[in-house]
Amino acid sequence: MVSVEAKNATDEQPGQPGDPCVMVIFGAAGDLTKRKLIPALYNLAKSNLLSKEFAVVGFARAGMSTEEFREKMSREIREFATDQVEPGLWEWFTQRLHYMKGDFNDPNAYRKLGNLLAQVDKEHGTRGNYFYYLATSPSYFSEIVRQLGEAGLAQEENGRWRRVIIEKPFGRDLDSARALNREISKVLTESQIYRIDHYLGKETVQNILVFRFANGIFEPIWNRRYIDHVQISVAEGIGVEQRGGYYEEAGTLRDMVPNHMFQLLTLTAMEPPISFEANAVRDEQAKVLRAIQPLTPEEVLTRTVRGQYGEGTIAGKRVPAYRFELNVAPDSTTETFVALKLSVDNWRWADVPFYLRTGKRLPKRVTEIAIQFKRAPFILFRKTPVDRLTPNLLVLTIQPDEGISMRFGAKVPGPILRLGSVNMAFQYKDYFGSTPSTGYERLLYDCMMGDATLFQRADMVEAGWSVVAPILDVWKALPPRSFPNYPAGSWGPREAEELMERGGRQWREMEK
Ligand code: BG6
C-alpha cells in the first residue's frame, strides 16, 4: 500500500518549460537520435517542459529532405517511444523538425546551416538561442566546434545563448582529452560546454545526492569510522553487439571507468557541497577524483584485473567468445572486464578501499553501489551459537530494479539466541510507479535551462583520465597472456575474486 508520505512525495511539481531554442543535432541520421534524443524531446513536450518556441535541425551526411526526416522520425518513434505517442502532440512536434545534409568539415555547409538556422529561428520564434548536440564519431568533435566558431555560430551576444553538448568518449587518454579541451576552448567558454555522461541522467544516480544529503541519519556514519569498504558494480549481460570496431579501440577500462563508474564513485564519496549550484557540486566531485591515488606500476599488477570473455551460456543461450564477435580481431587483447581497488586519500576515506568492477557478458544486468559497514564487536554474542556477525550492508541499486536496501542482523525466533540476516528494502516502483524515460530528458532540459550541474567539467574529465592513465600504460606494456579468461555468463576471471580475497573480503553475490 502506498503511504500518505509517499503520495505527497509524488505530487506533481510542474517545472517551467525550457528556454525557447533550436537544437542542432550533428549526426542526426544515427542511432542516438532515433533511440534517445527524439523520444526524450517528445517526453519533454508531453510533460510541458519543452518551450512552444522550439525546433530541431538535424545535420548529417546522409541525403534526406526535411519531409523525409520527419517521416523517418515518425516511423522510428513508434519503436523507441517510452510511452504512448499522442498523434496531436506528435504532429505539433514533427512540424518543428528540419534537416540539412552536410559534411562536418565543409565550411560551406556551416554557412548554409547559419542561413537555415536564421530561417528556422524566425519561423519558430526561438530567439536566437541554439544548442548543438555532437552525436557524431569523436573524431569530428573538435572540427565541428572549430567550424561553428568560424561560421560565427558559437558566439553569444545580445542575450542569445549558444551551447554545445559533447557525447562520450571525451578523448581516449589524458593527452587526447587535454588536447580536445584545449581545442574547443579556443571557440567556447567553459560555461558553453556540456560534456554529457548519460549515467547522470539516471534518476537513481541523481538520487544518490538526495539520499545522502536530504537525510540526516546517514551522513554521520558515512566515513572511515563506520564503513569497511565500498563495492561499485556495473554488470552487463550483453556482449559488444554491433560495436566491435569501437570496442577494439576502447576496451572496458576506457568505455566505462573514467566516466560512468567515476560518476558513481564521486557522488558516493564527495563531501556535502555548499549548494546545488553546478560548480559547487562539481568542485566536490573533482576533489574526490584528485584524491584518488594514482597507482604505481607495481600496484597496477596487484590492484587491477582485466578479463575477456570466452564463449559461454547466458540465460540458457550459447553465446560466442569476444574474439568471434563482428569486427573483432581473432587474437584480440582488448579487455571486456575490469576490476580495480582504488583508495580515496582524504580524511573521510583513508583506508577504506573502493572496489570497482564492470564487464560484458556477466550473468545479468545490474548496476549497484554496496556500502559495507564494519562488523559490530563480537563480545556480546561470544557465548551464543553465532559463528560470525554479518556486517550491515547498504545497497543502492541503480538499475534495473531501482531501489535501496539495508541488511542487518535480527534474532531468529525461538528459545535460544540465534542471529539471522534480514533485509529492509525500498523499491522505487512501489512508491513512485515507473516513469518511462530515456534518461536524456533531464540532461537536455538542463542544457536548455543553462544548468551544467549534471555535466562534466574540463578538470573532472582530465582528473578521471589521470587516474586510469597508469593502468592504461602498464596494460599496454604487458599484453595479457591468458585471454579469454572468463566464460560468458560468469562473474569474471578468478583474479577478480582474488583481488577481494587478498583484503579478506568478497564480492557481493548478485544472483537473486
Ligand atoms: C555506454 C557504453 O556508454 O554505456 C556501453 O559505451 C555500455 O558499452 C553502456 O553498454 C551502459 O549504459 P547503461 O545505461 O545500459 O548502463
List the chain pLDDT tens, one digit each, 512 residues. 334 344 444 444 568 999 999 999 999 999 999 999 999 999 999 999 999 999 999 999 999 999 999 999 999 999 999 999 999 999 999 999 999 999 999 999 999 999 999 999 999 999 999 999 999 999 999 999 999 999 999 999 999 999 999 999 999 999 999 999 999 999 999 999 999 999 999 989 999 999 999 999 999 999 999 999 999 999 999 999 989 999 999 999 999 999 999 999 999 999 999 998 999 999 999 999 999 999 999 999 999 999 999 999 998 999 999 999 999 999 999 999 999 999 999 999 999 999 999 999 999 999 999 999 998 877 677 666 666 678 899 999 999 989 999 998 888 888 887 777 889 999 999 988 877 899 999 999 999 999 999 999 999 999 999 999 999 999 999 999 999 999 999 999 999 999 999 999 999 988 65
Q: What pLDDT is stored for residue 382 in this prediction?
A: 67
* Three-state SS at 281: helix
Q: What pLDDT is stored for residue 390 in this prediction?
A: 81
The binding site consists of 61, 103-104, 168, 198, 202, 236, 255, 360
pTM listed for this prediction: 0.93
Taking CA atoms only, the protein residue closest to ligand 1 atom 2 is: 255
How many angstroms is it from 64 CA to the middle of ligand 1?
29
Taking CA atoms only, the protein residue closest to ligand 1 atom 14 is: 199
How many angstroms is it from 448 CA to the middle of ligand 1?
24
* Three-state SS at 298: helix
Residue 260 annotated in active site: yes
| Crossing angle between the packed helical segments 262-269 and 203-213, to the nearest 10 degrees | 10
Q: What pLDDT is stored for residue 12 in this prediction?
A: 47
98, 124, 229, 260: which one is catalytic? 260
Bond preceding residue 484 cis, omega within 30 of 0: yes
Ligand 1 atom at minimal distance to the Cα of residue 240: 8
How many angstroms is it from 363 CA to the middle of ligand 1?
16
Strands 193-195 and 162-166: what pairing? parallel
How many angstroms is it from 470 CA to the middle of ligand 1?
23
Ligand 1 atom at minimal distance to the Cα of residue 439: 14
Taking CA atoms only, the protein residue closest to ligand 1 atom 6 is: 255
The binding site for NADP(+) consists of 61, 103-104, 168
Which value, in Å, is the radius of gyration of the alpha carbons in the chain? 24
Please give the distance of CA 1 from its chain centroid, rounded to a whole number: 32
Ligand 1 atom at minimal distance to the Cα of residue 243: 8
Ligand 1 atom at minimal distance to the Cα of residue 247: 8
Rounded Cα gap, residues 371 and 394, in angstroms: 5
- Residue 82 CA: distances (Å) to CA of 34, 42, 76, 169, 440: 12, 10, 12, 26, 12
Protein residues whose CB sits closer than 6 Å to any atom of ligand 1: 168, 236, 255, 367
Q: What are phi and psi of 69, to 5 degrees?
A: -60, -45
Rounded Cα gap, residues 275 and 54, in angstroms: 31
How many angstroms is it from 428 CA to the middle of ligand 1?
22
Taking CA atoms only, the protein residue closest to ligand 1 atom 4 is: 256
DSSP state, residue 90: H
Rounded Cα gap, residues 35 and 33, in angstroms: 6
Count of CA atoms in the C-beta half-sphere (13 A) of 24: 29
Rounded Cα gap, residues 286 and 262, in angstroms: 10
How many angstroms is it from 36 CA to the middle of ligand 1?
13
Q: What are phi and psi of 256, to 5 degrees?
A: -120, -30
Query: Ligand 1 pocket test: which of 256, 325, 357, 369 has the largest number of ligand atoms within 8 Å of its C-beta?
Result: 256
Ligand 1 atom at minimal distance to the Cα of residue 367: 16
Taking CA atoms only, the protein residue closest to ligand 1 atom 5 is: 255
Cβ atoms < 10 Å from Cβ of 118: 11
Query: Ligand 1 pocket test: which of 167, 168, 198 has the largest number of ligand atoms within 8 Å of its C-beta?
Result: 198
Q: Are 205 and 264 in contact (CB under 8 A)?
A: yes
